[in-house]
Structure 1
Amino acid sequence: MDSLDWISKWADYTPSKTAVVSHESNEMFSYKDLDEYANNLSIHFEKLKLTEGDRIAILAEHGPLYIILLACCQRMGLILTPLNYRLAPFEITHLLEDCNPKLLIYNETFSEKLDYNSCKNIPNQLTLNDVKNLYQEKTLQQHSPLTIKENNPIFLFYTSGTTGKPKGVLYTNKMMFWNSLNTSMQLGITFKDSTLNVLPPYHTSGWNIFITPILHKGGSITIIEKFDPEKTLQLLEDTKTTLFLALPTMLLMMQKTSQFQKVDLSALRYIISGGEIVGFDMVSHWKKHKNIDIRPGYGLTEAGPSITSLHHDKTLEKPNSIGKPNFYLDLKIVNENNEEVKNNEVGEICISGNIITPAYWNNSVETKNKIKDGWLYTGDLAYRDEEGYLFLKGRKDDMYISGGENIYPQEIESFIEQIPSVTKAIVLPIDDNKWGKSSVAFVTSTDSSMNEFDIRKYLKGNLADYKHPKAIFLLSEIPLTSLGKVSRKQLFQYFHSLISES
């Protein structure tokens, strides 16, 4: 039995323990079920001539099948490649051409997103029902798995592409193991813990914040296909979930529902959140009304994703901090000369350890640009205070120089969001004929009468004039990616459409 095959280990130790529950289908899978179904799939996949290093692309919502595929892919050395089902057909075609899978599994509800060009070079194609029939087919044959190699990729994740085309990131068994240790040590995860997963399968967070650490520890997972704030709150109570991951956008939607005050969430030990700034108001709101600690953190597809964590005792004392680095990794902050900066100086976050990707898929140029001497250069800007706590300052690509001054959009956003009725502010750099660069701001507010003048009046006494946005747009809502992050790409498109019309 392979030491990295956690599902087979728990199938031996606690075979009847509930491992995964699907809310939509009301199916329940024990660790023994997962182990046997993964064995059955492995036998069938060998008949399809799938071999070590081949990719299995899947276009479907999250569910137990993914967990079965995880075990199967580990045992055969295959690479599980979850695709973003919210993309347009052309974008999905691009991903399929890039990963060149030997097998495509898809939910028939997404079949219209698969055209001839998407599938013409894929030798094996199965629907979800096809695969379900295969893994449920009883067999006395026992698959002889390969030894699981720690450096073999288990996932190929495509980045969300908020500012450009998605890049494929290889995620290895070694990354998964050490990330699980980092997560478990920070949160004290045991076999008694459970999680409710509401994130999609095509992003590392939907796997490696809680699902794989919980599988490592022998806990239980409930999966829902699509996030709904009221349904999520009720399920957190019904399942007595102990650990929960949600983006700030999701948490805000949940706390605004009438269900928020009604549900009993006393079993919930922690909420983990990140992807965007986890604001002081949100942290204090959940603490005051539900006595639940939100622990902000930081991670990215290329590393971890459990990189930093803010201890719950410090969330109100260190607002907006992403905490300190997790146990089994090294983190440094460097300037443009690759020199480590002093406390309170802004620089680029670099990460080293067993939790960083070995490479980008089919992209040696990007690999060489981002991974140097064992360090991943994240492109994220941050500073460390005197006590070692980290604070994000935005993306390196977002920081701009205007009239010789370094300006960080996140700083401007935080000032605008101090206006009581403002719910969200996003600041983007743009070209400026006079100063080289300037910025535009997109703002949402609960006050329908708010205008650009009101915002400028507030900024006048609070922020240096050279940091003020060149233009401010009031929107009914900020566009989001499928993961719930701000889609800067859509905001840029909107801004450029306004320019072309004027």
Structure 2
Amino acid sequence: MNYDWIKTRAAYDEVKPAVIDPFKGTSWSYQDLNKRAENLATHLQEAGVQQGDVVGIFAPNDVSLLDLLFATTKLGAVYLPINWRLKPKEIENVISDSNVKHIFYAAKHLSTLQGMADDLLYMDVDSAEYDEIVDPTNHKPFESVAIDGDTLAILMYTSGTTGLPKGVMFSYDSLINNLINTVLTYKINATYKTIIATPMFHVLGFNDLILPLLMAGGTAVLQRYFNGEDLNDLMTEHKPNYLILIPTMYYAMLVSKNFNIDNFKEVEFLVQGGSAPLAGVQQKIHGNGSSYY
């Protein structure tokens, strides 16, 4: 079966903004995302990456995480987002346990990986070389491979709260079913926009937030690293109609000097997870009429 859903979405919404990156000052349409992924898939195939190979990425919230996921989907390879907040011993365990073949990385975090994965470090996602490979204006079409639904699609590691991080395996069927159910639960559609402030190496920011939104045809605004004050500014500029954060992130927004409750006027609902809701946060937001789950 073909699980290349970004190519299907791109056929419906060729020019609509899919991802906005305020840090880089640019945006990408759905067609751009598909072309970038096909270019990267072509490059990886030429570099010897085959179906079932694990390809990792060690980077903050960035379009390159989507590039790699969609490229590995087209190849039938396995996508591995690595938590850059892990301790060196934990990162070493992830690298060893996952049998990762190549690791893309952001230069800012390169020092964390050096000495433990030098032979696996593949490319800086902020480099001119990477930009040239994925450049959608130089499209290299790629024919996606057929994949069985129980084939491994994504390998994510836990945060290691009670020991070393443990690998969580998502098959293509489980991933797609999760995305569809999330779209139906939140009633997301192509008019929706949100800010991706939770880390995209985590299931909350990736599987539960940005991927369902893109599957539904919405628009995602990336916050490279979370900061409450900066998120308030992004709220003012981009006016999202829903948010998914953890309670302490909502709190960081509320206590920042630039917090403006009017930013929540267009927010239809907010979702929190990871810990118990903070009563003061709920009271403040409910007072503006937004639903808080």
Scaled by the length of structure 1, what TM-score is found? 0.55
User: Deviation digits for residues 39-95 of structure 1, max 9, x if unmatched?
Assistant: 111111111110111111111111111112121111111111111112233332222
Q: Are the equivalent residues in 1 in contact too, given 2:228–2:253 (CA < 8 A)?
A: yes
Q: How far apart, in 1, do the equivalents of 2:27 and 2:290 lie?
A: 28
Q: Which residue of structure 1 aligns with residue 144 of structure 2?
A: 145
Q: Which residue of structure 1 aligns with residue 268 of structure 2?
A: 269
Q: Are the equivalent residues in 2 in contact too, given 1:97–1:118 (CA < 8 A)?
A: no
Local SS of the residue matching 1:118: coil
Q: Which residue of structure 2 aligns with residue 417 of structure 1?
A: none
CA RMSD across the alignment = 1.9
Q: Which residue of structure 2 aligns with residue 107 of structure 1?
A: 106
Q: Are the equivalent residues in 2 in contact too, given 1:243–1:271 (CA < 8 A)?
A: yes
Q: How far apart, in 1, do the equivalents of 2:139 and 2:283 lie?
A: 56
Identity of aligned residues (%): 25
Q: How far apart, in 1, do the equivalents of 2:38 and 2:139 lie?
A: 10
- Residues 41-80 of structure 1: pairs in structure 2 closer than 5 A: 41-80=40-79
Q: How far apart, in 1, do the equivalents of 2:139 and 2:202 lie?
A: 36
Match of 2:290 among 281, 289, 292: 292
Q: Are the equivalent residues in 1 in contact too, given 2:39–2:139 (CA < 8 A)?
A: no
Larger % of strand: which?
Answer: 1
1:140, CA displacement in angstroms?
A: 5.8
Q: How far apart, in 2, do the equivalents of 1:112 and 1:279 lie?
A: 36
1:188, CA displacement in angstroms?
A: 1.2
Q: How far apart, in 1, do the equivalents of 2:191 and 2:106 lie?
A: 33
Q: Which residue of structure 1 aligns with residue 124 of structure 2?
A: 127
1:139, CA displacement in angstroms?
A: 4.5
* Structure 2 gaps, min length 5: none
- Which has the larger Rg? 1
Q: Which amino acid aligns with 2:36?
A: Y
Q: Which residue of structure 2 aligns with residue 278 of structure 1?
A: 277
1:243, CA displacement in angstroms?
A: 1.6
Q: How many equivalent residue pairs? A: 291
Q: How far apart, in 1, do the equivalents of 2:157 and 2:243 lie?
A: 23
- Residues 391-402 of structure 1: pairs in structure 2 closer than 5 A: none
1:214 is aligned to 2:213: yes
Local SS of the residue matching 1:258: coil
Q: How far apart, in 2, do the equivalents of 1:172 and 1:147 lie?
A: 14
Q: Which amino acid aligns with 1:216?
A: M
Local SS of the residue matching 1:117: coil
Q: Which amino acid aligns with 1:293?
A: S
* Structure 1 gaps, min length 5: 296-502
Local SS of the residue matching 1:145: coil
Q: Are the equivalent residues in 2 in contact too, given 1:92–1:118 (CA < 8 A)?
A: no
Local SS of the residue matching 1:58: strand
More deviation in 158-167 or 276-285? 276-285
1:117, CA displacement in angstroms?
A: 3.5
Local SS of the residue matching 1:34: helix
- Residues 454-465 of structure 1: pairs in structure 2 closer than 5 A: none
**Cα separation, partners in 2 of 1:251 and 1:141, compared to 1, 3 Å:** closer
Q: Which residue of structure 2 aligns with residue 85 of structure 1?
A: 84
Local SS of the residue matching 2:259: helix
Q: Which amino acid aligns with 2:292?
A: I
**Cα separation, partners in 2 of 1:285 and 1:171, compared to 1, 3 Å:** same
1:241 is aligned to 2:240: yes
Q: How far apart, in 1, do the equivalents of 2:118 and 2:96 lie?
A: 9
1:220, CA displacement in angstroms?
A: 0.7
Q: Which amino acid aligns with 1:89?
A: P
**Cα separation, partners in 2 of 1:257 and 1:139, compared to 1, 3 Å:** closer
